Amino acid sequence: MEKVRKMLEKFHFFHFLVARDLWWIFPSVFVTGTFLFTSLYFISRSPFNRFKKLFYIPARKSITNAVQLGGLPLSFAIITGIVQIFNHKYFNSFFSDFDHYSIKYWLISSCVIVIYGYLDDRFELRPMVKLLLQIFSVCLFAVLESRVLFPKWGALAFVVISFWGLGVLNGSNLLDGLDTLAIKLGSVTFLSYLIISYNFSIPSATIGSLVGISSLASFYFFNKEPAKIHLGEIGGSFIGFTALLISCFVYSFLTRVRVDHLNALTMALMPLSLPMVELGVSFLRRIYTRKSPFKGDRFHLHHILRNYYHLSPSNASSVYALGYGAIMAIGLSITHHFGPVFGIFSVVFLMVSTYITVGAKHWQSEDSLNLKPTALFDYLLKKDIGVISSMEVDDFQIQIIGSEESIFQDPEDDTGKDNKSDISKKAA
Contacts of residue 392, defined as CB under 8 A and 6 or more positions apart, other chains included, come to none
Over residues 296-305, the mean pLDDT reads 90
The amino acid sitting at 123 is F
Of 114-123, 242-251, 281-290, 400-409, which gets the smallest average pLDDT? 400-409
Q: Distance (Å, rounded) from C-alpha 178 to C-alpha 254?
A: 36
pLDDT band with cut points at 50, 70 and 90 for residue 22 = confident
Over residues 381-408, the mean pLDDT reads 55
Instruction: Give the per-residue pLDDT at 316.
Output: 95
Q: Distance (Å, rounded) from C-alpha 367 to C-alpha 349?
A: 27
Instruction: Give the per-residue pLDDT at 296.
Output: 80
Contact between 180 and 225 (Cβ < 8 Å): yes
Report whether pLDDT(49) > 80: no
Report whether pLDDT(120) > 80: yes
Instruction: Give the per-residue pLDDT at 99.
Output: 92
Instruction: Give the per-residue pLDDT at 274.
Output: 96
Report if residue 378 sits inside a domain: no
Instruction: Give the per-residue pLDDT at 123.
Output: 86
Report whether pLDDT(387) > 60: no
Question: What average pLDDT is seen over the chain?
Answer: 83
Report whether pLDDT(127) > 70: yes
Report whether pLDDT(280) > 90: yes
Report if residue 207 sits inside a domain: yes
> What are the φ and ψ backbone dihedral angles of 203, each rounded to 5 degrees?
-65, -40
Q: Tell me: the pLDDT tens digits for 172-209?
A: 999 988 899 999 999 999 999 999 998 888 989 999 99
Instruction: Give the per-residue pLDDT at 385.
Output: 54
In 3D space, the residue among 126, 236, 218 whose CA is nearest the CA of residue 172 turns out to be: 236
Instruction: Give the per-residue pLDDT at 15.
Output: 57
Query: DSSP characters for 189-244?
Result: HHHHHHHHHHHHT-HHHHHHHHHHHHHHHHHHHHHSSSPSB--HHHHHHHHHHHHH
Report if residue 223 sits inside a domain: yes
Instruction: Give the per-residue pLDDT at 288.
Output: 86
Report if residue 335 sits inside a domain: yes
Instruction: Give the per-residue pLDDT at 46.
Output: 79
Report if residue 290 sits inside a domain: yes
Structural domain range at position 53: 17-363
pLDDT band with cut points at 50, 70 and 90 for residue 93 = confident
Report whether pLDDT(423) > 80: no
Over residues 213-231, the mean pLDDT reads 93
Report if residue 44 sits inside a domain: yes
Instruction: Give the per-residue pLDDT at 51.
Output: 77
Report if residue 144 sits inside a domain: yes
> What's the number of domains the chain is made of?
1
Report if residue 381 sits inside a domain: no
Instruction: Give the per-residue pLDDT at 364.
Output: 80
Instruction: Give the per-residue pLDDT at 372.
Output: 64
